[in-house]
Structure 1
Amino acid sequence: MRNDEVLKENVTQFSGKLQKSVIEVQQKYGDILNIPHHVSEMHPQMPTADRAAQFAPFAALTGYKEAIEETERLAEEKIEREYE
């Protein structure tokens, strides 16, 4: 089989799988796919910058880094004592 034939066959297989996937999604969620997006009449839309800020990185494990460093320090002291 030539390279272009293999490529064409792969594209055909991928296209078939993609079509099957799209059909499955439409069957599962077809009842809600075309519902219009809700816009509140009472609350103004949050600015994009504020929306992005709520997903900014944060320190979920406060103090974790310090605990690891302390464990490392204690382990190094123990190793030093063993080789004295």
Structure 2
Amino acid sequence: MGPERRPAPSPVPSHVASLRRVEASRSRAYSEPSAPAPVDGDVVVWGPAGVAFTMTPDAAEETALRMLEAARLARAQAGG
């Protein structure tokens, strides 16, 4: 037997790829930005619809970078 062949990794995380199967509409997209703030050494993010969550500074920083890239790609998809 030869070496096990694995599928090439997707450039999109699996949890994001599965979202593509869900029908989305622009009316469900929030136009109000979230409001992050430092609280006791963590980053707390308050968002629309009462969403709130806490992240470590490292996770918040990486999320910010990923959000910037996702926003860039979304604008490109929309032709902007």
TM-score bracket for this pair, using the shorter chain length? under 0.3
Higher strand share: 2
Task: Determine which structure has more spread, i.e. the larger CA radius of gyration.
Answer: 1
Please report the TM-score for the alignment, with normalisation by the length of structure 1: 0.24
Greater RCO, 1 or 2 (C-alpha within 8 Å, sep 6+): 2
Please report the TM-score for the alignment, with normalisation by the length of structure 2: 0.24
